[in-house]
A = this chain, B = another copy of it.
Amino acid sequence: MARKANGSADGTRHTTIREVAERAGVSVATVSRILSGSYPAAPATRSKVMRAVEELDYVANHHARALSGTTRKSIAIIVNSVISPHYAHVAQGVQTQAAEDSRLCQIGTTGGDAERELAMVQFMREQHPEAVILVGNVAADDEYRARMSRYAHALAAIGSRLVLCGRPPLGPDVPAVVVEYDNTGGAFAATSHLLSNGHKRILYLGRRPGYTTADARIEGYRDALAAHRVPHDPDLEVDGTFERFEGYRMMKARLAAGAPDFTAVFAGNDQIAAGARQALIEHGLRVPEDVSMVGFDDLPPAADIDLTTVYQPHEELGRTAVRLALEHARQGGPPPHTVLGTHLVLRGSVRPVVTG
Protein backbone atom coordinates (compact mmCIF):
# COMPACT_ATOMS: atom_id res chain seq x y z
CA MET A 1 0.00 0.00 0.00
CA ALA A 2 1.37 3.34 -0.99
CA ARG A 3 0.20 5.14 2.11
CA LYS A 4 -2.23 4.83 4.95
CA ALA A 5 -5.79 4.44 3.86
CA ASN A 6 -8.09 7.42 3.65
CA GLY A 7 -5.53 9.49 5.30
CA SER A 8 -4.81 13.00 6.18
CA ALA A 9 -1.83 13.99 8.24
CA ASP A 10 -3.67 13.99 11.52
CA GLY A 11 -4.82 10.41 11.20
CA THR A 12 -8.50 11.17 10.85
CA ARG A 13 -10.63 9.25 8.39
CA HIS A 14 -14.00 9.68 6.81
CA THR A 15 -16.72 7.13 6.66
CA THR A 16 -16.69 5.68 3.15
CA ILE A 17 -19.23 4.00 1.01
CA ARG A 18 -17.35 0.74 1.52
CA GLU A 19 -17.98 0.72 5.24
CA VAL A 20 -21.63 1.40 4.64
CA ALA A 21 -21.72 -1.48 2.19
CA GLU A 22 -20.06 -3.87 4.62
CA ARG A 23 -22.37 -2.93 7.42
CA ALA A 24 -25.43 -3.35 5.22
CA GLY A 25 -24.06 -6.57 3.78
CA VAL A 26 -24.26 -5.43 0.20
CA SER A 27 -21.81 -4.17 -2.41
CA VAL A 28 -20.64 -0.61 -2.84
CA ALA A 29 -22.37 -0.45 -6.17
CA THR A 30 -25.69 -1.10 -4.54
CA VAL A 31 -25.16 1.61 -1.96
CA SER A 32 -24.17 4.06 -4.63
CA ARG A 33 -27.23 3.26 -6.71
CA ILE A 34 -29.61 3.53 -3.81
CA LEU A 35 -28.21 6.81 -2.62
CA SER A 36 -28.28 8.37 -6.03
CA GLY A 37 -31.74 6.93 -6.64
CA SER A 38 -30.68 6.06 -10.13
CA TYR A 39 -31.90 2.53 -10.06
CA PRO A 40 -34.81 0.48 -8.74
CA ALA A 41 -33.68 -1.45 -5.69
CA ALA A 42 -35.50 -4.05 -3.66
CA PRO A 43 -37.24 -2.42 -0.70
CA ALA A 44 -35.53 -4.72 1.79
CA THR A 45 -32.03 -3.87 0.54
CA ARG A 46 -32.95 -0.25 0.40
CA SER A 47 -33.93 -0.06 4.07
CA LYS A 48 -30.86 -2.03 5.14
CA VAL A 49 -28.66 0.46 3.34
CA MET A 50 -30.49 3.49 4.66
CA ARG A 51 -30.15 2.22 8.18
CA ALA A 52 -26.42 1.72 7.77
CA VAL A 53 -26.10 5.23 6.37
CA GLU A 54 -27.95 6.61 9.37
CA GLU A 55 -25.92 4.68 11.89
CA LEU A 56 -22.58 5.60 10.42
CA ASP A 57 -23.68 9.16 9.70
CA TYR A 58 -22.32 8.81 6.22
CA VAL A 59 -22.07 11.66 3.73
CA ALA A 60 -20.62 11.09 0.30
CA ASN A 61 -17.24 12.52 -0.58
CA HIS A 62 -17.93 15.34 -2.96
CA HIS A 63 -14.49 15.23 -4.56
CA ALA A 64 -14.68 11.56 -5.37
CA ARG A 65 -18.12 12.07 -6.78
CA ALA A 66 -16.98 14.98 -8.92
CA LEU A 67 -13.94 13.07 -10.10
CA SER A 68 -16.11 10.23 -11.14
CA GLY A 69 -17.74 12.57 -13.58
CA THR A 70 -21.34 13.01 -12.62
CA THR A 71 -21.75 16.00 -10.41
CA ARG A 72 -21.36 19.30 -12.10
CA LYS A 73 -23.16 21.51 -9.72
CA SER A 74 -21.17 24.46 -8.65
CA ILE A 75 -21.18 28.09 -9.56
CA ALA A 76 -18.36 30.47 -8.79
CA ILE A 77 -18.87 34.14 -8.25
CA ILE A 78 -16.06 36.65 -8.00
CA VAL A 79 -16.72 40.09 -6.53
CA ASN A 80 -14.67 43.00 -5.31
CA SER A 81 -15.92 42.69 -1.76
CA VAL A 82 -18.99 41.46 0.06
CA ILE A 83 -19.33 44.51 2.26
CA SER A 84 -20.25 46.72 -0.64
CA PRO A 85 -24.07 46.73 -0.68
CA HIS A 86 -24.19 46.50 -4.45
CA TYR A 87 -22.03 43.41 -4.68
CA ALA A 88 -23.78 41.92 -1.69
CA HIS A 89 -27.13 42.22 -3.41
CA VAL A 90 -25.85 40.83 -6.67
CA ALA A 91 -24.26 37.95 -4.76
CA GLN A 92 -27.55 37.40 -2.98
CA GLY A 93 -29.26 37.12 -6.34
CA VAL A 94 -26.68 34.63 -7.54
CA GLN A 95 -27.05 32.61 -4.35
CA THR A 96 -30.82 32.55 -4.61
CA GLN A 97 -30.92 31.48 -8.22
CA ALA A 98 -28.13 28.96 -7.70
CA ALA A 99 -30.01 27.46 -4.77
CA GLU A 100 -33.18 27.23 -6.82
CA ASP A 101 -31.24 25.31 -9.43
CA SER A 102 -29.65 23.31 -6.59
CA ARG A 103 -26.13 24.44 -7.23
CA LEU A 104 -23.47 25.11 -4.67
CA CYS A 105 -22.15 28.61 -4.78
CA GLN A 106 -18.61 29.65 -4.19
CA ILE A 107 -17.67 33.26 -3.51
CA GLY A 108 -14.26 34.75 -4.00
CA THR A 109 -13.18 38.33 -3.44
CA THR A 110 -10.56 40.40 -5.18
CA GLY A 111 -10.51 43.79 -3.50
CA GLY A 112 -10.86 45.29 -6.97
CA ASP A 113 -7.39 44.21 -7.97
CA ALA A 114 -7.12 42.92 -11.55
CA GLU A 115 -4.21 40.63 -10.73
CA ARG A 116 -6.06 38.98 -7.88
CA GLU A 117 -9.10 38.62 -10.06
CA LEU A 118 -7.16 36.72 -12.69
CA ALA A 119 -5.65 34.50 -10.03
CA MET A 120 -9.07 33.88 -8.56
CA VAL A 121 -10.45 32.81 -11.92
CA GLN A 122 -7.64 30.28 -12.25
CA PHE A 123 -8.31 29.07 -8.75
CA MET A 124 -12.00 28.61 -9.42
CA ARG A 125 -11.18 26.90 -12.68
CA GLU A 126 -9.51 24.09 -10.73
CA GLN A 127 -12.91 23.11 -9.38
CA HIS A 128 -14.63 22.87 -12.72
CA PRO A 129 -17.65 25.03 -11.97
CA GLU A 130 -20.50 25.28 -14.39
CA ALA A 131 -20.06 29.00 -14.54
CA VAL A 132 -17.69 31.65 -13.32
CA ILE A 133 -19.50 34.90 -12.69
CA LEU A 134 -17.36 38.02 -12.66
CA VAL A 135 -19.05 40.89 -10.92
CA GLY A 136 -16.23 43.21 -10.07
CA ASN A 137 -15.25 46.42 -11.67
CA VAL A 138 -11.59 46.43 -12.52
CA ALA A 139 -9.28 48.49 -14.63
CA ALA A 140 -8.99 46.51 -17.84
CA ASP A 141 -5.68 47.05 -19.61
CA ASP A 142 -4.54 45.11 -22.65
CA GLU A 143 -2.60 42.60 -20.60
CA TYR A 144 -5.68 41.92 -18.51
CA ARG A 145 -7.89 41.56 -21.56
CA ALA A 146 -5.53 39.14 -23.19
CA ARG A 147 -5.26 36.88 -20.17
CA MET A 148 -8.93 36.95 -19.31
CA SER A 149 -9.73 36.21 -22.92
CA ARG A 150 -7.47 33.15 -22.76
CA TYR A 151 -9.19 32.00 -19.59
CA ALA A 152 -12.57 32.46 -21.23
CA HIS A 153 -11.54 30.14 -24.03
CA ALA A 154 -10.13 27.61 -21.60
CA LEU A 155 -13.35 27.73 -19.61
CA ALA A 156 -15.40 27.27 -22.76
CA ALA A 157 -13.24 24.28 -23.69
CA ILE A 158 -14.25 22.44 -20.54
CA GLY A 159 -17.90 23.33 -20.99
CA SER A 160 -17.98 26.02 -18.37
CA ARG A 161 -19.31 29.55 -18.91
CA LEU A 162 -17.65 32.81 -18.12
CA VAL A 163 -20.25 35.41 -17.22
CA LEU A 164 -19.47 39.10 -17.24
CA CYS A 165 -21.90 40.67 -14.86
CA GLY A 166 -22.32 44.42 -14.82
CA ARG A 167 -19.52 45.00 -17.25
CA PRO A 168 -19.18 45.14 -21.03
CA PRO A 169 -17.91 42.29 -23.24
CA LEU A 170 -14.20 41.60 -23.49
CA GLY A 171 -14.32 41.38 -27.25
CA PRO A 172 -16.39 40.06 -30.11
CA ASP A 173 -14.72 36.67 -30.27
CA VAL A 174 -14.50 36.01 -26.54
CA PRO A 175 -17.04 33.40 -25.46
CA ALA A 176 -18.75 35.01 -22.47
CA VAL A 177 -22.29 35.55 -21.35
CA VAL A 178 -22.77 39.24 -20.69
CA VAL A 179 -25.42 40.83 -18.54
CA GLU A 180 -25.08 44.48 -17.62
CA TYR A 181 -26.95 47.58 -16.61
CA ASP A 182 -27.83 50.57 -18.67
CA ASN A 183 -25.38 52.67 -16.67
CA THR A 184 -25.08 55.36 -19.30
CA GLY A 185 -28.85 55.68 -19.64
CA GLY A 186 -29.30 55.88 -15.88
CA ALA A 187 -26.64 58.52 -15.52
CA PHE A 188 -28.18 60.43 -18.40
CA ALA A 189 -31.57 60.41 -16.64
CA ALA A 190 -30.08 61.45 -13.32
CA THR A 191 -28.13 64.34 -14.79
CA SER A 192 -31.07 65.42 -16.93
CA HIS A 193 -33.22 65.55 -13.81
CA LEU A 194 -30.79 67.98 -12.20
CA LEU A 195 -30.55 70.03 -15.39
CA SER A 196 -34.35 70.23 -15.65
CA ASN A 197 -34.33 71.69 -12.17
CA GLY A 198 -32.13 74.48 -13.41
CA HIS A 199 -28.79 73.23 -12.18
CA LYS A 200 -25.90 74.00 -14.50
CA ARG A 201 -22.89 73.47 -12.27
CA ILE A 202 -23.11 69.80 -11.41
CA LEU A 203 -20.28 68.14 -9.57
CA TYR A 204 -19.60 64.53 -10.58
CA LEU A 205 -18.11 62.43 -7.79
CA GLY A 206 -16.35 59.20 -8.60
CA ARG A 207 -14.45 59.47 -11.85
CA ARG A 208 -12.22 56.46 -12.40
CA PRO A 209 -10.79 56.15 -15.87
CA GLY A 210 -10.48 52.58 -17.06
CA TYR A 211 -13.15 51.24 -14.73
CA THR A 212 -16.03 50.37 -16.95
CA THR A 213 -18.91 51.19 -14.63
CA ALA A 214 -17.49 54.55 -13.68
CA ASP A 215 -16.72 55.27 -17.33
CA ALA A 216 -20.24 54.41 -18.43
CA ARG A 217 -21.81 56.64 -15.81
CA ILE A 218 -19.63 59.61 -16.55
CA GLU A 219 -20.44 59.19 -20.19
CA GLY A 220 -24.14 59.52 -19.40
CA TYR A 221 -23.36 62.61 -17.35
CA ARG A 222 -21.50 64.21 -20.24
CA ASP A 223 -24.12 63.21 -22.78
CA ALA A 224 -26.83 64.86 -20.72
CA LEU A 225 -24.84 68.07 -20.43
CA ALA A 226 -24.34 68.09 -24.18
CA ALA A 227 -27.99 67.37 -24.86
CA HIS A 228 -28.96 70.33 -22.70
CA ARG A 229 -26.26 72.48 -24.27
CA VAL A 230 -24.60 73.09 -20.93
CA PRO A 231 -20.85 73.56 -21.20
CA HIS A 232 -18.79 70.71 -19.84
CA ASP A 233 -16.24 71.71 -17.22
CA PRO A 234 -13.70 68.93 -16.63
CA ASP A 235 -12.86 70.52 -13.29
CA LEU A 236 -16.28 69.41 -12.04
CA GLU A 237 -15.32 65.75 -12.39
CA VAL A 238 -13.68 64.46 -9.24
CA ASP A 239 -11.62 61.27 -9.11
CA GLY A 240 -12.37 58.65 -6.49
CA THR A 241 -13.46 55.09 -5.80
CA PHE A 242 -17.01 53.98 -5.06
CA GLU A 243 -16.88 53.87 -1.29
CA ARG A 244 -18.46 55.94 1.41
CA PHE A 245 -15.27 57.30 2.90
CA GLU A 246 -14.12 58.27 -0.56
CA GLY A 247 -17.25 60.36 -1.03
CA TYR A 248 -16.50 62.04 2.26
CA ARG A 249 -12.88 62.63 1.29
CA MET A 250 -13.70 64.03 -2.16
CA MET A 251 -16.23 66.50 -0.83
CA LYS A 252 -14.03 67.54 2.09
CA ALA A 253 -11.17 68.28 -0.26
CA ARG A 254 -13.41 70.22 -2.61
CA LEU A 255 -14.82 72.38 0.16
CA ALA A 256 -11.42 72.98 1.64
CA ALA A 257 -10.21 74.29 -1.71
CA GLY A 258 -12.65 77.21 -1.70
CA ALA A 259 -16.29 78.22 -1.77
CA PRO A 260 -18.54 75.72 -3.52
CA ASP A 261 -18.69 76.40 -7.26
CA PHE A 262 -21.57 73.99 -7.86
CA THR A 263 -25.26 73.82 -7.00
CA ALA A 264 -25.77 70.11 -7.40
CA VAL A 265 -23.95 66.81 -7.03
CA PHE A 266 -24.25 63.65 -9.05
CA ALA A 267 -22.56 60.86 -7.14
CA GLY A 268 -21.23 57.73 -8.81
CA ASN A 269 -23.21 55.68 -6.30
CA ASP A 270 -25.23 56.04 -3.11
CA GLN A 271 -22.28 55.30 -0.89
CA ILE A 272 -20.38 58.24 -2.31
CA ALA A 273 -23.50 60.37 -1.91
CA ALA A 274 -23.81 59.41 1.76
CA GLY A 275 -20.20 60.28 2.46
CA ALA A 276 -20.35 63.54 0.52
CA ARG A 277 -23.54 64.48 2.29
CA GLN A 278 -21.87 64.05 5.63
CA ALA A 279 -19.02 66.32 4.54
CA LEU A 280 -21.50 68.94 3.33
CA ILE A 281 -23.38 68.88 6.63
CA GLU A 282 -20.17 69.21 8.61
CA HIS A 283 -19.42 72.25 6.45
CA GLY A 284 -22.79 73.78 7.33
CA LEU A 285 -24.44 73.10 3.99
CA ARG A 286 -27.83 71.48 3.77
CA VAL A 287 -29.22 68.96 1.29
CA PRO A 288 -31.29 69.88 -0.66
CA GLU A 289 -31.66 73.51 0.46
CA ASP A 290 -28.11 74.51 -0.45
CA VAL A 291 -27.00 71.63 -2.63
CA SER A 292 -29.11 69.19 -4.63
CA MET A 293 -27.94 65.61 -4.91
CA VAL A 294 -28.59 62.50 -6.96
CA GLY A 295 -27.06 59.08 -6.42
CA PHE A 296 -26.93 55.73 -8.16
CA ASP A 297 -28.04 52.29 -6.93
CA ASP A 298 -31.05 52.81 -4.65
CA LEU A 299 -29.58 50.72 -1.90
CA PRO A 300 -30.21 51.03 1.86
CA PRO A 301 -28.31 54.28 2.53
CA ALA A 302 -30.48 56.03 -0.06
CA ALA A 303 -33.73 55.78 1.87
CA ASP A 304 -32.09 56.90 5.12
CA ILE A 305 -30.75 60.11 3.62
CA ASP A 306 -33.84 60.71 1.47
CA LEU A 307 -31.77 60.53 -1.69
CA THR A 308 -33.11 60.76 -5.21
CA THR A 309 -31.24 58.06 -7.07
CA VAL A 310 -31.12 55.69 -10.01
CA TYR A 311 -32.56 52.27 -9.27
CA GLN A 312 -30.95 49.19 -10.68
CA PRO A 313 -32.24 45.67 -10.05
CA HIS A 314 -29.22 44.35 -8.21
CA GLU A 315 -30.51 40.94 -7.23
CA GLU A 316 -32.05 40.49 -10.63
CA LEU A 317 -28.61 41.05 -12.14
CA GLY A 318 -27.22 38.12 -10.19
CA ARG A 319 -30.19 35.91 -10.91
CA THR A 320 -30.05 36.68 -14.60
CA ALA A 321 -26.37 35.88 -14.71
CA VAL A 322 -26.98 32.40 -13.34
CA ARG A 323 -30.06 31.79 -15.41
CA LEU A 324 -28.46 32.80 -18.68
CA ALA A 325 -25.36 30.72 -17.99
CA LEU A 326 -27.43 27.65 -17.28
CA GLU A 327 -29.70 28.20 -20.24
CA HIS A 328 -26.76 28.67 -22.53
CA ALA A 329 -25.21 25.49 -21.20
CA ARG A 330 -28.34 23.62 -22.18
CA GLN A 331 -29.17 25.25 -25.47
CA GLY A 332 -25.88 26.42 -26.85
CA GLY A 333 -25.72 29.02 -29.57
CA PRO A 334 -23.90 32.32 -29.32
CA PRO A 335 -23.53 33.60 -25.77
CA PRO A 336 -26.34 36.03 -24.93
CA HIS A 337 -25.83 39.69 -24.14
CA THR A 338 -28.52 41.28 -21.98
CA VAL A 339 -28.90 44.84 -20.77
CA LEU A 340 -31.07 45.45 -17.71
CA GLY A 341 -32.95 48.72 -17.43
CA THR A 342 -32.65 51.37 -14.72
CA HIS A 343 -34.96 54.15 -13.65
CA LEU A 344 -34.95 57.26 -11.52
CA VAL A 345 -36.40 57.07 -8.00
CA LEU A 346 -37.57 60.48 -6.84
CA ARG A 347 -37.01 61.40 -3.22
CA GLY A 348 -36.30 64.68 -1.49
CA SER A 349 -32.69 65.50 -2.31
CA VAL A 350 -33.29 67.69 -5.34
CA ARG A 351 -34.69 71.26 -5.39
CA PRO A 352 -34.99 73.68 -8.29
CA VAL A 353 -32.12 76.13 -8.36
CA VAL A 354 -33.03 79.58 -7.08
CA THR A 355 -32.65 82.06 -9.92
CA GLY A 356 -32.29 85.81 -9.86
Contacts and interface: CB of A to CB of B under 8 A. Distances in A.
Shortest beta-carbon contacts, A-B, top 3:
A12-B159, A62-B126, A63-B66
A122 interface: yes
A83 B85 contact: yes
Contact of A59 (B64, B107, B125, B303): B125
10 contacts: A61-B128, A63-B128, A64-B67, A85-B300, A95-B107, A104-B108, A105-B108, A106-B107, A274-B303, A300-B300
Interface in A299-356: 300-301, 303-305, 329
A28 B99 CA distance: 38
A27 interface: no
B126 A57 contact: no
Copies per complex?
2
A286 interface: no
Given A82-B92, A104-B106, A107-B106, A13 B63 contact: no
Interface in A230-284: 244, 271, 274, 277-278
A1 interface: no
A81 B72 contact: no
Given A82-B92, A91-B82, A105-B108, A69 B158 contact: no
A174 to B, nearest CB: 15
Contacts of A105: 107-108
A16 to B, nearest CB: 11
A136 to B, nearest CB: 14
Nearest to A57: B154
Interface in A99-158: 99, 104-109, 122-123, 125-128, 150, 154, 157-158
A69 B7 contact: yes
Given A67-B67, A83-B88, A126-B62, A244 B300 contact: yes
A228 interface: no
Interface in A151-170: 154, 157-159
A13 B154 contact: no
Nearest to A96: B109
Contacts of A300: 85, 244, 271, 274, 300-301
Contacts of A85: 83, 85, 300
A10 interface: yes
Contact of A104 (B57, B64, B123): B123
Contacts of A106: 104, 106-107
Most B CB within 10 A of own CB, among A7, A72, A127, A271: A127
Interface in A32-51: none
Interface in A56-87: 57, 59-67, 69, 72, 81-83, 85
Contacts of A159: 8, 10, 12
Contacts of A128: 14, 61-63
A178 to B, nearest CB: 21
Contact of A127 (B10, B13, B62, B72): B62
A157 B12 contact: yes
B67 A95 contact: no
A89 interface: yes
